[in-house]
Structure 1
Amino acid sequence: MLKASMLLPALVAALASWAATVALVRVLPRLGLVDRPNARSSHSSPVPRGGGLAVLVGVVAGLLATGFPRDLASSIAVAVLVGLLGLADDRFGLEVRARLLAQCVLALLAVALVRPQMPTMGLLALLALALSWVAFVNAMNFMDGINGISAAMTIVVSLWFVLVGEGSLETLAWATAASAFGFLLLNSRGKVFLGDVGSYALGSLIWSMTALALASGTDVVTSFAPMSLYGLETAAAMLLLMRRGGRPGEPHRLHAYQRWVDSGLPHLGVAFLAAGVLSSMLLIVRWVSESWIAVILAILVGLAYVASPAVRKRPVDGDAVKNNSGKR
């Protein structure tokens, strides 16, 4: 439930994100940030990419409306830095190894900045936390392939942390959810794409919310549950790609959401389907008292979604590129 104290920051974040998105639709093409269609794209005309900048603007504006909690400064700083990395990739196209190396450095920085809040966490656990940052930032990028999906999923994830968190975590979650909504208003109509700047930044912000939840004493299952569906879908797509003779990191159209779109469903329908599946998984985690039973049930729901495109199967080009992330 939206607290009265969060109403103004949420409105500020949504309005700032929407206004910045409107402005960027005109500015991005002048900067060369345009996604031009090719033979395997899902869009038929050039679309500006890099709209994730507006999401960052919205989040920062929302936090400023609360006085900008100091303990969130590091989370925003890392999100901005990885967003700039994504922006460079959007504009110039970075070599994969260089991009991954930069991500690893930022992951270590992110963990170093939250380390004081987790004084009892051992070295191996901290390294695993850094690995989870790299994995989720890239999973967000892989999954940003159709209109609305990243914004819709971000809203679901953020509202989850509103539900289970408090204090600075709740503040960041409201700002992120509202900012994603402001961006969704234009992105849902295919007017602008998030780009790597947006998928990377949102992945980092969601990871920061996970870290803040862990630092506040929230259990591991509850903290990491929002990452579950993207993790399952990305892993399943990689396995399917390798079964077909492809290599990890190779462009493809084997994610469940891509296969649903290829079967004829509209982008927004698939985006809301994925968001609904994640919501169901989170509700299971919330309401099933035995954590191991909750994990099993949630995974089964996620796997059912991953396998669901086979119900409405059409031929899919296994070599096709992802269709809405800025790499077509």
Structure 2
Amino acid sequence: MFSVLLVISVGIVTWGLTWLLRRYALASQMMDIPNERSSHSVPTPRGGGVAIVFSFLSVALLLGVLGWQPWSFIIALVGAGAGVAVLGFIDDRGHIAARWRLLGHFMAAAWALFWLGGLPPLQLAGTDFDLGLLGPVLAAFYIVWMLDLYNFMDGIDGLASVEAICTCIAGGLLYLLLGEPKMALLPFVLAAAVAGFLYWNFPPARIFMGDAGSGFLGVVLALLSLQAAWFKAELLWSWIILLAVFVVDATYTLLRRLLTGQKISEAHNSHGYQYAARQYKEHRPVTMIVLQIDVFWLLPMALLVGLGYVDGLIGVIMAYIPLILLVSKLRKRVGLD
């Protein structure tokens, strides 16, 4: 009962904090002004993701005090999450050069991996492989890519919030099915925190989460997936499946920009979800389509992998191929590929 009340309280607190942050952003002119690369058309307050950061990290510390989460993971989570959020908030208020942001992101990843103990053994075809010294290097790039792709994909109303909520509820459900309710609580808490924010961010958005929120969600989701992998190797593949919409769109777009000689550090509006939003002329249909993909395609596949019915790598391939084809088809429709 306490766990249920805690989750509900987090959602309510985040809702209230977002309301306060919106008032602050309006008063201080902390606005996202539309430009030629934007997917929105009216100035909108930003920085609302700070509410998610505050409410989630507060409860994470409480769970550490209660002994429901190992302190090593809480230290990794709070240190990396808060550091990325502060860096993002400073960037929201002004501007930080891309190279310094990237350095900060790798420092956050290194901090987290030190406390996590690096990358757990990967499971391929039912066999565990310990990558040795290569493991932490790959894990650092994984964390930074998850962090940055979440920034890239936070471009239309409600999308980043819906993705985080679906992923966390599914991740928590996997823990429950595996008989670990205490492990499930942290993903559920993050889902509740984001849901409280989503009230204000659902299309048409009344506030954006900003880099402070999107970067924070990216790094926290990456760390939750690594924690899941330390608990059960198959769960890493499940989390990667649950995040497939963001991973496919961001990675496909980055590779296409590299292959065509475009600067990957420049802001752009060439992601698949941005083209879809322009096709529909509004954000809500795209966000709802992603919700349906997460619930009806990726969730069942993640459950099959996490519960051991399908090999992890095979499950990832099966989950990703239709999404890759979807992004490719969308780009061809607008004459890009």
- TM-score by shorter chain over 0.5: yes
SS in 2 for 1:190: coil
CA distance in 2, matches of 1:60, 1:115: 21
In structure 2, what residue type is equivalent to 1:256?
G
Question: Does the 8 Å CA contact 1:169/1:212 hold for their aligned counterparts?
Answer: no
Q: Kindly tell me: are residues 124 and 242 of structure 1, through their superposed partners in 2, closer, same or farther at Cα, counting changes over 3 Å?
A: closer
In structure 1, what residue type is equivalent to 2:74?
A
* Residue 204, structure 1, aligned to residue 219, structure 2: yes
- Provide the residue aligned with 1:36 in structure 2: 33
In structure 2, what residue type is equivalent to 1:73?
I
CA distance in 2, matches of 1:90, 1:304: 34
RMSD: 2.6
List, as ranges, runs of 4+ consecutive aligned residues in structure 1 with deviation greater than 6 Å.
Answer: none
Q: CA deviation at 1:37?
A: 2.2
Alignment map for 1:4-23 (pairs within 5 Å): 4-23=1-20
Question: Does the 8 Å CA contact 2:37/2:268 hold for their aligned counterparts?
Answer: no
- Provide the residue aligned with 2:191 in structure 1: 177
Q: Kindly tell me: are residues 44 and 259 of structure 1, through their superposed partners in 2, closer, same or farther at Cα, counting changes over 3 Å?
A: closer
- Provide the residue aligned with 2:310 in structure 1: 290
- Provide the residue aligned with 2:241 in structure 1: 225
- Provide the residue aligned with 1:241 in structure 2: 257
CA distance in 2, matches of 1:18, 1:301: 35
Unaligned runs of 5+ in 1: 319-328
Question: Does the 8 Å CA contact 2:169/2:187 hold for their aligned counterparts?
Answer: yes
Q: Kindly tell me: are residues 245 and 60 of structure 1, through their superposed partners in 2, closer, same or farther at Cα, counting changes over 3 Å?
A: closer
SS in 2 for 1:101: helix
In structure 1, what residue type is equivalent to 2:24?
V
* Residue 104, structure 1, aligned to residue 106, structure 2: yes
* Residue 216, structure 1, aligned to residue 203, structure 2: no
Deviations along 1:144-171, whole A, 9 cap, x unmatched?
0000001000001101210222355312
CA distance in 1, matches of 2:31, 2:44: 6
In structure 1, what residue type is equivalent to 2:147?
V
Alignment map for 1:48-127 (pairs within 5 Å): 48-63=45-60, 69=69, 71=71, 72-74=73-75, 75-115=77-117, 122-127=132-137
CA distance in 1, matches of 2:119, 2:83: 21
SS in 2 for 1:192: coil
| Number of residue pairs aligned between Structure 1 and Structure 2 | 313
Q: Kindly tell me: are residues 121 and 6 of structure 1, through their superposed partners in 2, closer, same or farther at Cα, counting changes over 3 Å?
A: farther
CA distance in 2, matches of 1:248, 1:282: 31
- Bigger mean CA offset, 239-248 vs 125-134: 239-248
249, 262, 270: which one pairs with 2:286?
270
In structure 1, what residue type is equivalent to 2:227?
L
In structure 2, what residue type is equivalent to 1:97?
R
Question: Does the 8 Å CA contact 1:9/1:65 hold for their aligned counterparts?
Answer: no
Q: Kindly tell me: are residues 31 and 230 of structure 1, through their superposed partners in 2, closer, same or farther at Cα, counting changes over 3 Å?
A: same
CA distance in 1, matches of 2:61, 2:258: 46
- Bigger mean CA offset, 273-282 vs 129-138: 273-282
Unaligned runs of 5+ in 2: 122-129
SS in 1 for 2:321: helix
Question: Does the 8 Å CA contact 1:278/1:302 hold for their aligned counterparts?
Answer: no
Deviations along 1:119-176, whole A, 9 cap, x unmatched?
9772211211111110000000000000000100000110121022235531210110
CA distance in 1, matches of 2:264, 2:331: 22
In structure 2, what residue type is equivalent to 1:98?
W
* Matched-pair identity in %: 26
SS in 1 for 2:265: coil
SS in 2 for 1:263: helix
- Provide the residue aligned with 2:169 in structure 1: 159
Deviations along 1:168-221, whole A, 9 cap, x unmatched?
531210110001111000111311001000011101110121111011123242
Q: Kindly tell me: are residues 9 and 261 of structure 1, through their superposed partners in 2, closer, same or farther at Cα, counting changes over 3 Å?
A: same
- Provide the residue aligned with 1:144 in structure 2: 154
CA distance in 2, matches of 1:40, 1:57: 30
Q: Kindly tell me: are residues 237 and 176 of structure 1, through their superposed partners in 2, closer, same or farther at Cα, counting changes over 3 Å?
A: same
CA distance in 1, matches of 2:108, 2:181: 25
Question: Does the 8 Å CA contact 2:241/2:302 hold for their aligned counterparts?
Answer: yes
Q: Kindly tell me: are residues 130 and 268 of structure 1, through their superposed partners in 2, closer, same or farther at Cα, counting changes over 3 Å?
A: same
